Amino acid sequence: MENFGIENALKNLGIAEKNDGTSTGKISYGSGEVIMSSSPVNGKVIASVTTTTPEEYEKVIKTAEAAFLQWREMTAPARGEIVRQYNEKLRAYKDDLGKLVSYEMGKSYQEGLGEVQEMIDICDFAVGLSRQLHGLTIKSERPGHHMQEQWHPLGVVGIISAFNFPVAVWSWNTAIAWVCGNACIWKPSEKTPLCAVACQHLFVDVLQANDLPEGISCMINGDYRVGEFITKDERVNLISATGSIRMGKMVAQTVAARLGKTILELGGNNAIIVTPEADLKMTLMGSVFGAVGTAGQRCTSTRRIIIHEAIFDKVKDAIVAAYKQLKIGNPLDENNHVGPLIDKDAVANFMHAIEAVQKEGGKVLVPGKVLEGEGYESGCYVKPCIVEAENHYEMVQEETFAPLLYLIKYKGTLKDALALQNGVKQGLSSAIMTNNVQEAYRFLSASGSDCGIANVNIGTSGAEIGGAFGGEKQTGGGRESGSDAWKGYMRRQTNTINYTDELPLAQGIKFDIQA
């Protein structure tokens, strides 16, 4: 199988420098168990990483705490300058890092490049933000008094990221947390540890060039047990966690038990409503990419398309025909649309979901199956599936992290479609396809979509870093990236300054004592 330059990319990033023609590199971030990172592209081991032990974690947290004391004393624009330099590193290594993301995770090379571009974009945003962190001035009820709000860094921020966006989601958090003055500890997915190692290497280079402590950015490796080091640790002031609803509930309970802060970005069961006044071409593009991009492994992937009965057959036929054009194979080959799932467990979950929804009455329109033969040796490639289903089916109510798309017919008005869209426990992303202005604004109104993201005439998948990213209900309610999401990484402080020689009390209270 052609490697499309992946070996050079790995060497440029300091990953898996081979000792001989066959063995892989070993990267040490601890002395615990060894994690073998295998590519879903071809099943080959890329490199191994060692996991962090409790004793080593204790050194990490103390290093981060010490670094924070120095980092918080720097001005915010000075911290922004460090992020700017990291931005330059990312630009220089964009192609290599994009290939690593594609190879270790399995998304297309173009999507890998897009993910690194998101890192670059959020660094740009954070640099600008470093000169705009602001509070309020508030008029006091007491004469000669001044009130204001300030925002201060929290301290140590823990970031738990998922395999599907192995670098971008970390950067959404850490770039903002850094300019706010926090030190960060990253627990990446054990399924994509090498992407994290590469990002850490690049940032450490920047820190060393500026004579700053490496503890500003720390990394720990391992499974959920290593994640528990930071979720249970009172010294970690905020946990930002991305993953499944099940994982999020455990993190929320653990952190809440110690009255810590959380930002949760959990599952999505995202729908596109297609009304009779939709543009079919735009509907097709948004639906197909939303459903099969990243092999359906985005939290914003399109899971359901809710189509009015008057145009149901027309839309259905167009989407089914479009699926026949999909090219499935090595994601580093830019001619392919769909790469592999992350591992064989994901493949098994995909096949189970198809079987389960059929038992409930779902009608398979495009059969999903495991692909075999030349180019599919890893066992992680599947053919995307389309099922005509009902919204109340148990499997439709759940998120299947794979290219499984449900087509659902609605009757009546937009209100009926919204009831179906909102009738799931997740609330991340949503979209409507319509050229009717009234329908568009109703969809965006308080009685419209109940999701954190609501789009008109674009799909559910993808988001710009300028807007706060996150969802409602069991998606967790967290917000990352743009807008005023920076406030989640800081603590608010209200200040009152008395510049008189008297001490009046609030609410006109009298408390006379003799000096």
Among all residues, which ones are annotated catalytic? 265, 299
Q: For the chain, percent helix, then strand, then coil, each to nearest 5?
A: 40, 20, 40
Q: What is the 3-state secondary structure (H, E, C) of 431-476?
A: EEECCCHHHHHHHHCCCCCCCCEEEECCCCCCCCCCCEECCEECCC
Q: Residue 184's beta-bridge partner residues?
A: 157, 217
Any residues with CB less than 8 A from the CB of 345 and at least 6 apart, and which?
none
d(CA 342, CA 336): 17
How far from chain centre, in Å, is Cα 155?
22
Q: Which two tokens stand for residue 378?
A: 């890893």
Q: What is the 3-state secondary structure (H, E, C) of 220-283?
A: CCCCHHHHHHHHCCCCCCEEEEECCHHHHHHHHHHHHHCCCEEEEECCCCEEEEECCCCCHHHH
d(CA 218, CA 393): 44
d(CA 35, CA 38): 9
DSSP-assigned states of every residue in 175-208 = HHHHHTT-EEEEE--TTSHHHHHHHHHHHHHHHH
* Cα-based distances in Å from 42 to 23, 37, 205, 333, 372: 16, 12, 31, 13, 12
Q: What is the H or E stretch that residue 493 is in?
A: strand 490-498
Longest pairwise C-alpha distance within the chain: 93
d(CA 83, CA 203): 9
Q: Which two tokens stand for residue 124?
A: 């740009």
- The b-or-e profile of 454-478 (16+ CB within 10 A means b, else e) is bbeeebbbbbebeebbbbbbbbbbb
What's the start-to-end Cα distance of the chain, in Å? 88
